[in-house]
Amino acid sequence: MTKFKYTIKLFFTTAMIFVLSGCGDMFDLDINQDPNNPTQAGSALLLTRAQYSLMADMAGGVNNNLMGFMGMIGSADDWNLGQGSYNGFWGGMYADQLKDLEGIIEANQGETGSPQYLGIAQLLKAYAMSTMVDLFGDVPYSEALKGNAAEAIVNPNFDDDQAVYNEMLALIDEGLANVTNPRRPIAINGDLIYGGNTTRWNKFGRSLKLRLLMNTRLVNSNAKSEIEALITGGNLIAANNEDFTFQFSKTVTPDNRHPWYQSSYTAGTNGFTYILHQYMLESLEDGDPRWPYYFRRIQGTVLDLTDPSQRNTAPCSQTPACTYRYMVLNQQIIDRLYTNKGIAYTDAAKTFLAGLFGRDRADPAGVPLDGDFRLIPGVYPAGGYYDVTTPSIPAANRAPGGGIFPAMTTINVLYYQIEAILAMGVAGDARALFKKAIEDHIAKVVAFGRATDANSVAPPITMSDGRKLETPAYVNLWLQRYDNATTNAAKLNVVGKQLWFSSWGNGYDLYNFFRRTGLPNTIQEPILAPRDFPLRLPYPQQELTLNPNAASYEGVVYDRDPIFWDVQ
């Protein structure tokens, strides 16, 4: 080594010693921490993950069951629920979604945290926890999410459902204060719902508070004044771009498409459950312009009931108590849809009607190999196809995708206000709001459908069986029904039935509305239901088995024991 090189090496070695000594004890460095791979995810990543897993779970099996409870689809439409049915939903809410949201909340406390991230996480937590109460009643809250705390709690106690709801109302207020806090404004990244728009989060929070107050209106003596104050104060969800809606992707791998899309459009064969006959029939009978957006026929062949194999495939072939039966061969249905409306029952009409293949509510017969006959979800909200003149089974993975879960929209907010007026005497014009709710939902469905499937047709629509679907005629039909109802309770029944038709894709608000009001009362009764109407979901067997503090809830009966706000 030359003298020059030795001098240079000695200089850098000496300088490094001074640098390290100036930074403190070099042996305090944690060589196991990689700054490029942090053990704690950032708020943006946690927010994305929490929103996706929360909304995907909300749009999945539980949502299907709630729609089944309400006579829309054949998912738990006989009300016979198992203790193991909700292990995954419960575990996901606590271990994933709520845990991620709690991570955001903890990371954004104090002066150095972002009040906007904090507020969004608080509002989402209030949405998730209040939904858990709506579904299960008492749930772990005050001791939950502490499995890795300094004093770990792995078996949390359950909190009283009303107490949790009160906590959520307070948490909403905190969230609202934070999302509107001008301190340390930063760009909110990772927000799949509102793209970091805190004005829209503020409207969501206020609308969520209205939802909770409506749920508790029968057990809260201050409900009317609190609801009036919210409505008068405005800043509620009032436009499509303010809707609390989750957009699913179109990607095949990984498959993050709408759960209904995955059931109906990915295999070249249909795996979706039955759409119930009353729902598909009455909306068509009324001339609902949403019909070809909601539903997609996949066959038009009339089965031969003299052939035993075909007869056993036909709906209600083994259940005499069916009301609707195999509709294409039911003269009463033909009269309702065609003869009584002056529409010729042509061969094209027969082909059309053969595609209305579903089930009567809670038909106890076995399930034949009829998946490739059933009516399936259409373009709204699943991202599938608009209905077509010539029905066929969609080729796998060819439909557009990009479905949505309409978790809480301007339509829901309108129905909260209508109910408040009719049931509580809150000031307002219920009829005008009802008209707006119907028109706006039709417009919302049509706009989504036309943006998703280029074959979608805007109303007025001429169907392949010859009938016309027109928005003004449909709206006037429902306003006439509303006007003919002689009491507020009767008007609310009409409103509830239209809410039924406007809840395709989201059973949560409809299920809550029914428990608050007992309406609508014009849904087909189950043919054979081994249990009564579910007043809540059964506690998951996994929680009852593994958490000793859940032992006292083994005696809770889902069709006997209501949650705290269900007192009607």
Cβ–Cβ under 8 Å, residues 502 and 478: no
CA dist., res. 269 & res. 372, Å (int): 6
Q: Is the pLDDT of residue 389 over 90?
A: yes
Which pLDDT score is estimated for 147? Answer: 86
Which segments of the chain belong to CATH 1.25.40.390? 42-234+530-555
Q: Which residues pair with 140 in a beta bridge?
A: 158
Average pLDDT over residues 375-383: 98
Q: What is the DSSP letter of 160?
A: P
| CB count in 10 Å sphere of residue 243 | 25
Q: Is the pLDDT of residue 517 over 60?
A: yes
CA dist., res. 447 & res. 367, Å (int): 36
User: How much of the chain, in percent, has pLDDT values that exceed 70?
Assistant: 93
Q: Model's pTM, two decimal places? A: 0.92
State the virtual CA torsion across 25, 27, 31, 37 in degrees, nearest 10. -20
| pLDDT-based confidence at residue 14 (cuts at 50, 70, 90) | very low
Please name which of 385, 128, 124, 401 lies closest in space to residue 254, comparing C-alpha atoms: 401
Please name which of 228, 279, 246 lies closest in space to residue 498, comparing C-alpha atoms: 279
Please name which of 441, 564, 560 lies closest in space to residue 500, comparing C-alpha atoms: 441
Q: Is the pLDDT of residue 181 over 60?
A: yes
| CB count in 10 Å sphere of residue 382 | 33
CA dist., res. 445 & res. 534, Å (int): 30
DSSP string, 68-125: HHTTSBSSSTT----TTTTHHHHHHIIIIIHHHHHHHHHHT-STTS-HHHHHHHHHHH
For 320-349, the pLDDT digits (tens) are: 999 999 999 999 999 999 999 999 999 999
CATH number at 42-234+530-555: 1.25.40.390
Average pLDDT over residues 104-114: 95
Report helix, strand or coil for 386: coil
Q: Which amino acid appears at position 227 of this protein?
A: I
Residue 345 to residues 158, 408, 462, 467, Cα–Cα distance (Å): 59, 40, 15, 11
Q: Is the pLDDT of residue 19 over 80?
A: no
- Least trusted range by pLDDT, from 26-40, 231-245, 439-453, 491-505: 26-40
Which CATH architecture describes the domain 237-524? Answer: Up-down Bundle (1.20)
CA dist., res. 385 & res. 394, Å (int): 8
Which segments of the chain belong to CATH 1.20.120.840? 237-524
Non-local CB neighbours of 376 within 8 Å, separated by 6+ positions: 264, 270, 272, 275, 295, 296, 298, 384
Which pLDDT score is estimated for 18? Answer: 35
Which pLDDT score is estimated for 522? Answer: 98
User: How much of the chain, in percent, has pLDDT values that exceed 90?
Assistant: 90
Which pLDDT score is estimated for 24? Answer: 43
CA dist., res. 178 & res. 539, Å (int): 34
Please name which of 512, 61, 507, 47 lies closest in space to residue 272, comparing C-alpha atoms: 61
CA dist., res. 277 & res. 315, Å (int): 10
Report helix, strand or coil for 408: strand
Cβ–Cβ under 8 Å, residues 244 and 407: yes
Q: Judge residue 307's burial from the number of C-beta atoms within 10 Å of its C-beta, 0-12 exposed, 13-18 middle, 19 or more buried.
A: exposed
Q: What is the DSSP letter of 275?
A: B
Please name which of 89, 75, 77, 80 lies closest in space to residue 539, comparing C-alpha atoms: 89
Please name which of 93, 102, 114, 100 lies closest in space to residue 50, comparing C-alpha atoms: 100
Cis peptide before 38 (omega within 30 of 0): no
Q: Which helix (H) or strand (E) holds 529?
A: none
Cis peptide before 254 (omega within 30 of 0): yes
CA dist., res. 486 & res. 423, Å (int): 14
Tokens matching residue 331: 């003269």
